[in-house]
Each structure stands twice: as C-alpha cells, then as structure tokens.
Amino acid sequence: MLYLFLSLLHLVSRSQTFQLKAKPLIDALQYMHQNKMYRKLVFYLEAAESAHV
C-alpha cells in the first residue's frame, strides 16, 4: 500500500509556494497504477489555501 501525504501548510513565504495541478497529478497516479507501482493508494492533501488547490 502506498501512503501519499502532501502538506502545503508550512510554506514560509509566497515565493516558496508551488502549484499543484490536477492533470499532472492524475497522469502520475495513472502511470504508477498502470506500471503496478502500487496496489492500493491512500492519498492525503492538506492545504492552508485550499481555494488555490
């Protein structure tokens, strides 16, 4: 089982932020699934500014 935890809460300044786009994330997860890199996936996303996710 793959546990994926992504926390965007503790970024020090706006210059250290990064954009999480849906398409690349979905593509990466689909690639990993197709290549049997995990059987089960638990994905947690934590963000202080969730309107931007």
Model confidence pTM above 0.75: no
pLDDT digits (tens, 9 = 90+) for 1-44: 878 887 766 655 555 566 778 899 899 999 999 999 988 889 88
Ramachandran angles phi, psi of 48, nearest 5°: -75, -35
Q: Does position 50 have pLDDT exceeding 80, yes or no?
A: no
**pLDDT value, residue 7:** 73
Domain coordinates in residue numbering, the chain? 2-52
Give the C-alpha separation, 5 to 23, whole Å.
Answer: 18
H or E stretch covering 23: helix 22-34
DSSP E strands, the chain: 2-7, 41-46
**pLDDT value, residue 44:** 85
